[in-house]
Structure 1
Amino acid sequence: MKTALFAAAALLFTAVTASVQAEDKTVAVGDFSFAVAAPWTEAQNTGMMTKAVLSHPVEGGTPLEAKFYHFGTGQGGDVDANVKRWIGQFEGTPEVKKEDLDYSGTKVTLVTIHGTYLDGPPFGGTKTPRADYTMLGAILVGKDAPVFIKLTGPKAATAAATDSFKKLVASPFKK
């Protein structure tokens, strides 16, 4: 009986420890530390400009990727120029929703853009039109430079990931 009780306690301790460790996982980009909480997982970062990539599962589809960018002190441009550039990655006049937030003095801009996304290399090259796509974007204004987060995918998949994306963006400010 004591052995079974001890084994159950050890199993519970291991489960609680694993849960705490999973919740303590963070990704640091620029001035910010983002919590990697379920359903997010770290993905392989193969981009030259990306600092981190997190994957969000999509039921019956390809996982979405949130890509993090930070270009260093004084680099990356201002919020409005980046929002305008992101809108320019869509054909015509896409639907745009912009939210300006303030987390204890840190300015955060959230952008949702929906339309036909022009998928392809950032500086020229062939673009593939992706109809009915949505981009979720966030710009966190850091002390030395902004941090950018972008997630692009089919409208239904991004709609399902929107709340989780917003929690991810807000995670550096949750104490």
Structure 2
Amino acid sequence: MSSTRSARLLLASLFLAGASAHAEQAVTLLGLGSSIPDAWQLETPSSDMRLLQSAIPAADGDAAAFVVFYFGPEQGGTLEANVERWQSQFQGPEGTAVEPRISEIGTAALPATLVELRGSYGRSVGMGPGGDMLPDRMLLAAVVETPEGTLYPQLHGPAMLVAEQRDAFIAFVRGLQPAATPRP
């Protein structure tokens, strides 16, 4: 067997071994491609503002949700306004404020900021908690600047489950790049 063919077989087997251990599914939105873990079950987006939506199942049935919001060019508000709104939906012990952890996770081509919050969470569209406060929740929210406008990927749910999926969330954001166009 030729060394080129041996190398190709080795690469293919390594790819397949890696795929079975860390299988991912490709996703495309706004002309950008990335991937999410196969365990994240894709769903039909529940509104026109959601480009992508999936559930992350948990053994106890308390799933997390992954959503990518897009409101249009120059829409969706500033980073500061979004951080303030997300923070207002969380409470710490005895109703105290929860301080966000903010870091830069983007690339030179697509700047992105990650906001992390953990505590009791009352998810809502506007300021303040909406509905019942659920204990020990976590939100990972990114603000990704693209040529088409800002993307707002979010992962929220039980704190332990979201924390376990943090690396996959960051990999999705960092993996965003122009999608390959099919050849004619």
- In structure 1, the partner of 2:113 is 109
8 Å Cα contact 1:30/1:145 also seen in 2? no
TM (norm. structure 2) is 0.72
Deviation at 1:78, TM superposition (A): 1.9
Aligned to 2:144: 140
CA RMSD in angstroms comes to: 3.2
In structure 2, relative to structure 1, the CA distance for the partners of 1:29 and 1:174 (3 Å cut) is: closer
1:9-88 to 2 correspondence within 5 Å? 25-88=25-88
The alpha-carbon deviation at position 65 of structure 1 amounts to: 1.5
User: Residues 95 and 31 from structure 1, CA distance in 2 versus in 1: closer, same or farther, beyond 3 angstroms?
Assistant: farther
> Could you list the per-position Cα deviations for residues 92-146 of structure 1 after superposition, in whole angstroms to 9, with x for gaps in the alignment?
41142111134123211111101111134x2589511112111011111112311
Aligned twin of 1:168: 172
Structure 2 matches for 1:110-129, cutoff 5 A? Answer: 110-120=114-124, 122-123=125-126, 127-129=131-133
Aligned to 2:162: 158
Q: Give how far 1:68 is off.
A: 0.7
C-alpha spacing 1:110/1:174, structure 2 compared with 1 (3 Å): farther
Q: Which runs of structure 1 show a deviation greater than 4 angstroms over 4 or more consecutive aligned residues?
A: 123-126
Give the C-alpha shift of residue 70 in structure 1: 0.8
The alignment-based identity, stated in percent, is: 21
Report the Cα offset of residue 60 of structure 1: 3.0
Question: For the residues of structure 1 that align with 2:28 and 2:135, how far apart are their CA atoms?
Answer: 33
d(CA) in 2 for partners of 1:106 and 1:152?
A: 23
3-state SS, counterpart of residue 174 of structure 2: helix
State the alpha-carbon separation in 2 of the partners of residues 157 and 36 from structure 1: 15
Inter-partner Cα distance in structure 2 for 1:26 and 1:152: 21
Aligned length: 159
